């Protein structure tokens, strides 16, 4: 969500204070450009299992080295609120893409697709981004379906979101081409911020 290029796993000794124990192993892992939280969590879990086993072996062999943490480097991960799942299309495209991938697949990042006078709540589960062409200045939320190689483009504050995978309320995740085969977008189609009550389950 913050745009970090990497994350990682630390194996530490538990102490009474929160995140205060010394560290025996610290490993870094790059975050993929289109990787979502579920996929990253699986890779982190595999790395954690490997590193825990290594540290246990070092403890058994009396070769473990514990390095104290610096309290000045401690940070707090804020709790996600319901409003964090709503995409404000006035924001930059890269900021929105980070939110989409950070919140996928659950709780998901949502918009309201308005077409033919009806509104449909959508989760965008995976996306690419593209800059506006020279002279382009569409209103945030505007939709374009005429660009080759990009079946659906949604205008943001400074570029396009190109959804790759989306999900309707009560439905399954679909590739954008599959979704558009069963959903007609007229000239009036556009996206608006979702309301919490309308977000897909």
> What are the C-alpha distances in Å from 132 to residues 34, 102, 139, 153?
20, 24, 12, 11
Could you tell me if 37 and 102 are in contact, meaning their C-beta atoms sit under 8 angstroms apart? Answer: yes
Could you tell me if 175 and 165 are in contact, meaning their C-beta atoms sit under 8 angstroms apart? Answer: yes
Could you tell me if 11 and 27 are in contact, meaning their C-beta atoms sit under 8 angstroms apart? Answer: no
**pTM confidence score:** 0.84
What percentage of residues in the chain have a pLDDT greater than 90? 63
Q: Provide the pairing of β-strand 6-12 with 109-115.
A: unpaired
92-118 confidence digits (pLDDT tens): 999 999 999 999 999 999 999 998 888
149-184 confidence digits (pLDDT tens): 788 999 999 999 999 999 998 889 999 999 988 887
Q: What is the CA radius of gyration of the chain?
A: 21
């Amino acid at each position: 969500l913050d745009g970090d290029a990497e994350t990682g796993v630390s194996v530490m000794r538990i102490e009474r204070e929160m995140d205060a124990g010394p560290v025996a192993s610290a490993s870094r892992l790059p975050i993929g450009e289109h990787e979502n939280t579920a996929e990253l969590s699986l890779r982190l879990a595999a790395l954690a299992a490997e590193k825990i086993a290594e540290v246990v072996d070092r403890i058994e062999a009396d070769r473990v080295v514990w390095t104290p943490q610096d309290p000045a480097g401690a940070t707090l991960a804020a709790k996600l609120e319901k409003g964090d799942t709503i995409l404000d299309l006035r924001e930059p495209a890269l900021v929105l893409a980070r939110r989409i991938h950070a919140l996928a697949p659950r709780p998901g990042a949502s918009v309201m697709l308005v077409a033919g006078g009806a509104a449909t709540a959508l989760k965008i589960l995976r996306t690419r981004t593209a800059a506006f062409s020279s002279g382009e200045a569409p209103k945030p939320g505007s939709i374009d379906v005429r660009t080759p190689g990009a079946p659906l483009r949604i205008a943001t504050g400074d570029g396009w979101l190109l959804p790759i995978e989306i999900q309707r309320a009560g439905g399954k995740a679909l590739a954008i081409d599959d979704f558009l085969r069963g959903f007609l977008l007229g000239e009036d189609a556009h996206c608006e911020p979702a309301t919490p009550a309308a977000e897909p389950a």
